[in-house]
Structures are given as C-alpha cells and as structure tokens.
Amino acid sequence: MMGMKKKKCLECKVEFEVNPKARFARKYCKTCSKKRKKMWDEQWKLKIEDFDDEDD
C-alpha cells in the first residue's frame, strides 16, 4: 500500500499504520485511541457535573 506510514503508539508502543493524508496525525493505535476517547468522554461528564454543582 502506498502512502501508509508506520508509527509507534505513544501508549502501548505497538506499531500501527497511519494515513499521512489524514487531517490529524494519530499518536495512538486504534485500541488506545478508543480507550482514551472513552476516558475523555467520562472526564467531560465529570467536569460538567462539577460545573452544575458550582452553579447552584
């Protein structure tokens, strides 16, 4: 395949393929980005709940 680059995941150090034409360079493999996205989503939820408390 042309144009595919290999990169090492910052988290688990596993090599994965990245598309150099992608808008954002990926730093994490599929598994880790899924994990991180989930973590982020949960962090956001927590933050929003915190803000709600402060508003009271």
How many residues sit in the footprint of Zn ion (CB under 5 A)?
5
Pick the binder of Zn ion from 12, 25, 39, 46 (CB under 5 A).
12
Check the CA dihedral 34-17-20-9 and report its sign.
Answer: positive
Tell me if 22 sits within 8 A of 40, measured CB to CB: no
User: What's the min distance (Å) between Cβ of 44 and Zn ion?
Assistant: 22
User: What's the min distance (Å) between Cβ of 54 and Zn ion?
Assistant: 35
Tell me if 56 sits within 8 A of 43, measured CB to CB: no
The footprint of Zn ion (CB under 5 A) covers: 9, 11-12, 29, 32
